[in-house]
Amino acid sequence: MTTQIWIAVSVYVLVAIVKKRLNLDAPLYTLLQILSLTLFEKMPIPHALSQDHPRTETVGDANQLTIFAS
């Protein structure tokens, strides 16, 4: 239990340091959410936190059949 609290405080402080060094305007909560979503993606932190980075990529598959054709 105590270990989880210290890890949470450490992560919060590290994200606050990153926010200050990169001069980001987003709230810490938003940054923590972005980092939790991109945790296993290999990309630089500034790229993951930038506003230009697309969060979702849609890939169209021309060979995909449709279930309900209209």
**CA separation for the pair 18, 68 (Å, rounded):** 48
- With 60 as the cut, is the pLDDT of residue 53 above it? no
Q: What is the pLDDT of residue 62?
A: 60
pLDDT band at 13 (very low <50, low <70, confident <90, very high): very high
> Residue 27: which of 16, 38, 36, 17 has the closest Cα?
16
Cα gap 16→32, rounded to integer Å: 10
Reply yes or no on whether the pLDDT at 1 is more than 60: yes
pLDDT digits (tens, 9 = 90+) for 18-41: 889 988 888 888 888 888 888 788
